[in-house]
Chain A
Amino acid sequence: MDANKTARLKRRATNWALNIALFIAMAIICLPGLWIVLNSLRPTVEIMAKPPVWIPNQLSFDAYRDMFSGIGQGGIPVLQYFRNSMIIAVTSTVISLAIGMSGGYAFARYRFRFKGGWFLGLMLTRAVPGIALSLPLFFLYARVGLIDTHAGMILAYTALNVPFTIWLIDGFFRQVPKDLAEAAQIDGCTRWQAFWQVEFPLARPGIASAGIFAFLTSWNEFALASQLTRSTSSKTLPVGLLDYTAEFTIDWRGMCALAVVMIIPALLLTYAVQKHLVSGLTSGAIKG
C-alpha cells in the first residue's frame, strides 16, 4: 500500500474516532436533561425501577397538570415562584451588567493606582463558596430586614455576579482596539458617545455572555435562596422544588416536571442571545 493511501485512511479513521468520541461526550452531557424530561412524563414506579426502564411504557402530562392545579390538589404556586425567579434573575442581571460594563471598561481602558490589587481582590471573592456566606448573610439580612424579600436576593446575586461580569467584559473591551475609540473622538464623539457608538457594539458578544452567565447563576441558585427566602412571595423556582418533598415521600415526577419548567426559559434565553455571541466582530478594524 502506498504511503499516500495509508495517510488518507489514517486521516479518515481519526475523523471517525473523533466523531464517535464527540457523540459519546455529547450523550453523557445531554443524558441527565433527557432523563429529567422523561421522568416528568412517567409514573414514580417506573422512575424508581431497578434496573432502570429506558423506554417508557406510557407517557402522561399529569405532573404538569397537577403542578398548575392549585394548592391542596397536588399543585404548588409555580406561577408565583416563576415570577419571583424572573424578577430576581432579570433585575440582578441588569444591575450586574451595568456594574460589569463600567468596571470592565475601567479595568480595560484606564490606569489607576492599585489596579492589579483591585482586580485580584474582585477575583478572590469568587473563591469563597456561596454557601459559606449564607450564615453571615442570614444574620445580616435578619438585622436589616432583607430576609424573604426580592431586594435581598437581588443584592446577594448581584454581589455574586459582579466580579465575574467585570472579568469577562474587561477581556472583551481589551480586544476592542483603543484606536477605534480615539478615532471616534476625533470624528466628533464625546467619550460617552464613542463608548456607545463604537466600543459597546463591538464588545456586545462579551456583554451577552456575561448576561447569560449572570442570569443563569441567579436563576439556578439554590443554596443561598433556600436560606434567605421563606414565603411564597419570595421563594424562587429552585427552592420551590422542595415543595415536592414531604416527611416520608419525594414526588420525583413532580420535581422533574418543575425542573423542566425551570429549564425552558433558560434555554430560550440562551437561544435568543446566542446570535450576539458571534466572535471576530472586530476583524477588519485594524491591520491584517
Chain B
Amino acid sequence: MATLSLSRLDKNYGSFHAVKGIDLDVADGEFVALVGPSGCGKSTTLRMIAGLEDITSGDIRIGDRVVNDLPPRDRNISMVFQSYALYPHMTVGENMGFTLKIAGRGKAEIAEAVAKAARVLEIEALLDRRPAQLSGGQRQRVAMGRAIVRDPDVFLFDEPLSNLDAKLRGQMRTEIKELHARLESTIVYVTHDQVEAMTLADRIVIMKDGRIEQVGSPDEVFNRPATQFVAGFIGSPPMNMADARVVGGNLRLSDEAELPLPPGVAAQDGQNVVLGLRPDDIYPQGHGIHTEGGDAVEPRDLTVKLSEPLGNETLLFVDFGGKGWTARMLNPRIVKRGEVLGFHMDLSRAHLFDAETGRSLRTE
C-alpha cells in the first residue's frame, strides 16, 4: 500500500474546466470518499489518478513516485468500475487472474492468488462461471476480486454499488468496509451517495463544480459543514435552509417569523444569511434525538402539513417563516394532518451561512 497525493490537479476539456486545481493527500491505508453531485469532477479526478485521463496540469504522486504521465499499467493501481467491466469471454477465474497472466506469472502462482482472493470474497464456487451467469452482487464481488489479485498500491472504486438494489447495496457496503479493515488498503472511493461516503470513509472529500468544498471526517462534514453546499449535500433528509437577515441580534426569516441568533456564530447586523437546521434538530416536544431543554431551544407551535411514518421515526412537514421545514419525530405516535404540535428548534445545533459566499459563519 502507499500514500496518494494530488497537487494543484487541473483538467480541461477544451474550454470546459472540469477539475480546478485540487489538492488532496491520502494517507497509507486510508479510505477516502470523493462525493458530490453529477458533473462535480469526482469521476474525472479518479480517472486521472488511474491514468485513464490525461491531466492538464498539476501532479499526482503514488508513494514517492510522480505518475503524471505513466500509463495505467505502470501505476500499480486497481479499479472497480461502476459497470463492473468484467471480461465476458473469460470465466470468473480467468477474469481475476488476467492481470497476473499479462504480467507473465506462472499458472500455479496465478491459481494460488486467484484462490486466495476468491476465499476472501467467498466466491470460490463461481470460478468456472462466466460473468453472464452471475447475479449483480456476485459480479460486484468478482470485480473486487480482480482488484485484490493485483495487490495494488491504491484501490480505486468508481460508484461500485450504484447498480445494485438497496438491500444488496447495504450488504456490499458492509463487505467493502470489512475488506478495507482486513487489507488495510489505501482506497479512493467515488460515489454520489452520501450515505455510502459517511458509512465507509475515514475522510470525505465533498466536491462541487470541479473544486473541493470540504475535506473532513464524516463527523466533521456532518456537524461542522464548511459551506452551505456541504450542509445541504450531507444528511438525509437534507438540512432545512431558510434565507434570513440579522436584525438587532435576531434572525428575521420573514415579517412574522424571527428567531434568536444561534450561539457561536459571527454575523453582523444587517447581514443576509442562510439559516440551516437539520430535521433532527426540529422535533415535537418529547420526541427529539438530543437532550432537550438547553438554553438555545426555541419552542414554536406549528401545524403539521404532512407526515411520513417510517416505523422507528416519522418525518413531519411544517411551515415556518414562509418556508417548508422537515422535522424528525422519534418514538413516534400517529400524527394527523392539520394537527398543531409544540415543536422545539434546537438553535445550539443550527448553522449559519453567508448568503453571498455560502461560507459557514460558525466560530466554534
- B81-122 with Cβ < 8 A to chain A: 81-89, 98-99, 102-103
CB of A187 within 8 Å of the partner chain: yes
A287→B52 contact, CB < 8 A: no
CB of B132 within 8 Å of the partner chain: yes
B85→A183 contact, CB < 8 A: yes
CB of A185 within 8 Å of the partner chain: yes
The residue of chain B having its C-beta at the shortest distance from the C-beta of A187 within the complex is B99
A231 CB, min distance to chain B CBs, angstroms: 47
CB of B130 within 8 Å of the partner chain: yes
Residues on A with beta carbons closer than 8 Å to the beta carbon of B81: 179, 182-183
Known: A202-B89, A284-B132. Is A188-B84 also a contact (CB below 8 A)?
no
CB of B131 within 8 Å of the partner chain: yes
B83→A284 contact, CB < 8 A: no
CB of A70 within 8 Å of the partner chain: no
B87→A186 contact, CB < 8 A: no
CB of B134 within 8 Å of the partner chain: yes
Could you tell me the distance between the alpha carbons of A183 and B160 in the complex, rounded to whole angstroms?
14
**Size of interface on B: residues with Cβ below 8 Å to A:** 32
B103→A188 contact, CB < 8 A: yes
Could you tell me the distance between the alpha carbons of A193 and B132 in the complex, rounded to whole angstroms?
23
**Size of interface on A: residues with Cβ below 8 Å to B:** 25
Beta-carbon contacts of A165-193 to B below 8 Å, as 1s and 0s? 00000000000010110111111111001
Residues on B with beta carbons closer than 8 Å to the beta carbon of A49: none
The total number of A-B Cβ pairs within 8 Å is: 87
Beta-carbon contacts of B63-80 to A below 8 Å, as 1s and 0s? 000000001110001110
- Picked from A188, A193, A283, the residue with its CB within 8 Å of the CB of B88 is A283
CB of A1 within 8 Å of the partner chain: no
CB of B163 within 8 Å of the partner chain: yes
CB of A245 within 8 Å of the partner chain: no
B134→A284 contact, CB < 8 A: yes
Could you tell me the distance between the alpha carbons of A189 and B89 in the complex, rounded to whole angstroms?
17
Residues on A with beta carbons closer than 8 Å to the beta carbon of B78: 186
Residues on B with beta carbons closer than 8 Å to the beta carbon of A21: none
B191 CB, min distance to chain A CBs, angstroms: 16
B102→A189 contact, CB < 8 A: yes
- A87-101 with Cβ < 8 A to chain B: none
Known: A183-B81, A188-B103. Is A285-B71 also a contact (CB below 8 A)?
no
Could you tell me the distance between the alpha carbons of A170 and B357 in the complex, rounded to whole angstroms?
49
Could you tell me the distance between the alpha carbons of A285 and B102 in the complex, rounded to whole angstroms?
20
Could you tell me the distance between the alpha carbons of A283 and B84 in the complex, rounded to whole angstroms?
12
A187→B102 contact, CB < 8 A: yes
A180→B87 contact, CB < 8 A: yes
Could you tell me the distance between the alpha carbons of A57 and B81 in the complex, rounded to whole angstroms?
69
A284→B88 contact, CB < 8 A: yes
B47 CB, min distance to chain A CBs, angstroms: 8
Residues on B with beta carbons closer than 8 Å to the beta carbon of A28: none
A179→B83 contact, CB < 8 A: yes
B83→A198 contact, CB < 8 A: no
CB of A53 within 8 Å of the partner chain: no
B83→A177 contact, CB < 8 A: yes
CB of B50 within 8 Å of the partner chain: yes
CB of B21 within 8 Å of the partner chain: no
The residue of chain A having its C-beta at the shortest distance from the C-beta of B100 within the complex is A188
Known: A285-B83, A286-B84. Is A182-B72 also a contact (CB below 8 A)?
yes
- Picked from A177, A187, A282, A283, the residue with its CB within 8 Å of the CB of B98 is A187
A185→B136 contact, CB < 8 A: no
- A182-213 with Cβ < 8 A to chain B: 182-190, 193, 197-198, 201-202
Could you tell me the distance between the alpha carbons of A185 and B50 in the complex, rounded to whole angstroms?
10
- B305-356 with Cβ < 8 A to chain A: none
A198 CB, min distance to chain B CBs, angstroms: 6
A184→B98 contact, CB < 8 A: yes
Residues on B with beta carbons closer than 8 Å to the beta carbon of A198: 87
A183 CB, min distance to chain B CBs, angstroms: 4
**In the complex, the 8 A-B pairs of residues with the closest C-beta atoms, listed nearest first:** A284-B132, A284-B131, A286-B83, A179-B85, A183-B85, A287-B163, A187-B99, A188-B102
Known contacts A197-B102, A284-B134; 4 additional CB pairs below 8 A are: A179-B83, A182-B72, A183-B87, A187-B98
A to B CB contacts below 8 Å, 8 in the list: A183-B79, A186-B52, A187-B99, A198-B87, A281-B89, A284-B86, A284-B131, A285-B83
